[in-house]
Amino acid sequence: MSTTHQMFTVEEKDLFIELLKEWPNSESGTELASHSVSPFISFYFHPSRDDHRDVALLMVDIHEAFEQLL
């Protein structure tokens, strides 16, 4: 017994590959499921009203330090 199944038809796979060539943050799917590849990172945080500015500046510092690593 196998628990694997094909996610894309050949045509869907080819279309997805073409979308990724145009824009690397593309997604493909149906009403039941969506599949995507993303080279981007998202951070979600909810700072308090008292420290929102400090948190935003810290996030900029972290981003700039990360850029230096690349």
Domain edges within the chain:
10-69
Q: Which pLDDT belongs to residue 64?
A: 92
Q: Which of 69, 41, 46, 42 is nearest to 56 (CA)?
A: 46
Given a cut of 70, is residue 7 above it in pLDDT? yes
More confident residue, 33 or 62: 62
C-beta of residue 25 within 8 angstroms of C-beta of residue 38: yes
Q: Which pLDDT belongs to residue 26?
A: 78
Q: pTM here?
A: 0.44
C-beta of residue 15 within 8 angstroms of C-beta of residue 9: no
Band the pLDDT of 37: cuts 50, 70, 90.
confident
C-beta of residue 45 within 8 angstroms of C-beta of residue 55: yes
